[in-house]
Amino acid sequence: MSVAFAGNSTTGSPREAGPLRVMIVDDSVVIRGLISRWVGAEHDMEVAASLRTGLEAVNQLERINPDVAVLDIEMPDLDGLSALPQLLAKKRDLVIIMASTLTRRNAEISFKALSLGAADYIPKPESTREASAADIFHHDLIQKIRHLGARLRRKAAVASPPLAPASPAPAARGPVARPAVPVPAPAVHAPSGSLSTRPFSTQAPKVLLIGSSTGGPQALMSLVTELGPVIDRFPVLITQHMPPTFTTILAEHLARSSRRPASEAVDGEPVKAGRIYLAPGGKHMRVVRSGADVAISLDDGPAVNFCKPAVDPLFTSAIDVWHGNILSVILTGMGSDGMRGGKDIVAAGGSVIAQDEASSVVWGMPGAAANAGICAAILPLNQIGAKVNRLFAGDRS
């Protein structure tokens, strides 16, 4: 999954300064009002428009020129999935976040939207009256807008670096004018190639653990197509930040992509080679010893790193089972989930691979691991599968 660059139009290039302009498209006046208040309260973003239908968004896009669109799926006149390609045809670098309620149909549509160029999705709570559900929706939406919008601007800055002034600017005579709205600079990461890495473990891996978040579904579906030899001989466990229903659909997509059994993990089931176990939405997935076997352990405890499921619980629990015989992969995603668990894996004798910044939708989780110095390799997504296969086949370098 990546920020879309479909279409040929260059209308409305992203601005390099000022708040992110957010277009809210939803037929619910309650949701529009809620998101508008949240966006308006942030110092680095502003409401560019609040619209009722996808048709209004398509017709008014050039005038509004937003950086980010929060696009509902079910709307009159023109639904979100139909509006999506039309919006991207008019503005190829528009960041579109699909919003939908937690139904199987909407989950399927959200996955379809990702394949058509949507940057991400977010589940809307069944009722905004439930404080905890509204708080999670609020937190996740603002973070997605901010991080995906910042990535857009970093790409624009790389594509069009500012020219040096022809002559020195005159010295200021008095107070320096400052923007009315302070905008923090995007997080600066060291280039992947300049980060230090450590040697791979000398211990043979007996399990593959994968953690991912924003951008993860598309990355996972791409990666598992290459991992057949590993899946056939070793268990593969994945935690993707995702709500219930969405993980059900993701497991089905992973099964089709890998041509191997893949399903949401079930509490107490044995962990065996030959299949993919996906943490179900709303539950943390751990592994435990069960006599001579290994079993799945699910729990409904509090969120970890603002996430449930979270990657760290899986990573740390695996150490008690496989000790240092662990290979873990941290893919694209916001935040730093997986970094602490990755540190523990390395301390136990295992290895961590992180996706590089250029191929990540958001270089939060893999970037945190890379900057912590715990990775044995920092690779583009299209190189991770081959490397994993070699490591499980006996390569130790």
Active site residues: 213, 241, 337
Burial class (CB in 10 A: 0-12, 13-18, 19+), 269: middle
Secondary structure (3-state) at 291: coil
CB of 36 closer than 8 Å to CB of 70: no
Nearest partner of 332 among 311, 352, 355, 309, judged by Cα: 355
CB of 375 closer than 8 Å to CB of 198: yes
Burial class (CB in 10 A: 0-12, 13-18, 19+), 71: buried
C-alpha distances out from residue 126 to 3, 102, 136, 161, 283, Å: 27, 7, 12, 44, 19
CA pair distance 207, 221, nearest whole angstrom: 19
Residue 11 identity: T
CB of 217 closer than 8 Å to CB of 187: no
Nearest partner of 120 among 137, 140, 144, 155, judged by Cα: 144
How many residues does this entry show for the chain?
397
